[in-house]
Structure 1
């Protein structure tokens, strides 16, 4: 019973917070939509902020699990790590369709949970990618003059912008491609720009 109520509140809160943002959603609205007593929000999560933090953690949990897998079973090469990362991020966006909304919301109008959840997880992603690009340069897979900071920001933008803007694109284009199809082409374009090629040296 306890887990059912908690799951129902998290599911309801995810939708409401994604649609309206943290500040525009009241405890009363959360309880009414979930059809539970509002006191249960404080009982299980310590209040609206605690519930919101749990929602954010659920949004990022698949990314945390992915990074842990990389740590436990490193890829054979930096190039392979980047490809695996990109494919996983595409799959995560499919499973967490509101992830980009929460990230954008926190960038535009940060909540008290931004530092503990959003920045922490994005910092972990940045660290993984930066280390991978640095290793790729050291191994001679990537261009010697590759700026790892810019490469990290570029790949993050390429991987996320499609999912942020897709609803808009679909309004005036025939864009019906899946995230996986986009990832394959975008990643190929990105790697063509950073891979070291002997004929250009």
Structure 2
């Protein structure tokens, strides 16, 4: 029973925080929507901020799991690492449809949880991609003049923007009929064509 109340609060909070943002959601609304006693929010999570942090952790945990899998089963090459990363990020967005809302919300109106959760996971992604691009250049797989920082920011943006902007695109393009998997395949092709070293062109 206690476990059910915790799960219900997290599920309810995920929806409300994603729709309204942290500041616009009250403890009373959370408890009423979840149909639980408001005291349980403090009991289980230490308050609204603790519940919000738990929600953010739940949103980002798949990223940590993905990076752990890539570490435990290293890709055969930097290019393969980029492909596996992109495909996994696409799948994560499908599993966590509110992830982009939380990212945008924290970028526009950061809460204390931004440092503790959001920046923590983004830092892990940045480290993985930056190291991958460095390795790719060192092995002669990527262009020698590739800027590792810009490449990291570019790929992260490419892999997130489609899911962030998809609701807008649906109004005036056919993108609503296309899947994240299709987008990822084309985006990867475009990105890799820009960074791969072509010896026949040297």
When normalised by structure 2's length, the TM-score is 0.99
Whether 2:187 is the aligned partner of 1:186: answer: yes
Q: Where does the alignment leave 5 or more consecutive residues of structure 1 unmatched? A: none
When normalised by structure 1's length, the TM-score is 0.99
Q: What SS does the aligned partner of 2:170 have?
A: helix
Q: What is the CA-CA distance between 1:70 and the residue it aligns to? A: 1.2
Q: What SS does the aligned partner of 1:51 have?
A: helix
The answer for the alignment partner of 2:16 in structure 1 is 16
Q: What is the CA-CA distance between 1:129 and the residue it aligns to? A: 0.2
- State the Cα deviation string for residues 2-58 of structure 1 (Å, max 9, x = none): 211111000000000000000000000000000000000000000000000000000
The answer for the alignment partner of 1:177 in structure 2 is 178
2:112, 2:145 → 1: CA distance?
39
- State the Cα deviation string for residues 85-112 of structure 1 (Å, max 9, x = none): 0000000000000001001100100001
The answer for the alignment partner of 1:102 in structure 2 is 102
Q: Moved runs in structure 1, 4+ residues, more than 6 A? A: none
- State the Cα deviation string for residues 128-182 of structure 1 (Å, max 9, x = none): 0000000000111100000000000000010000000001000111221000000
Q: For 1:41-60, what aligned pairs fall within 5 Å after superposition?
A: 41-60=41-60
Q: CA RMSD in A?
A: 0.5
The answer for the alignment partner of 1:130 in structure 2 is 130
Whether 2:34 is the aligned partner of 1:30: answer: no
The answer for the alignment partner of 1:156 in structure 2 is 156
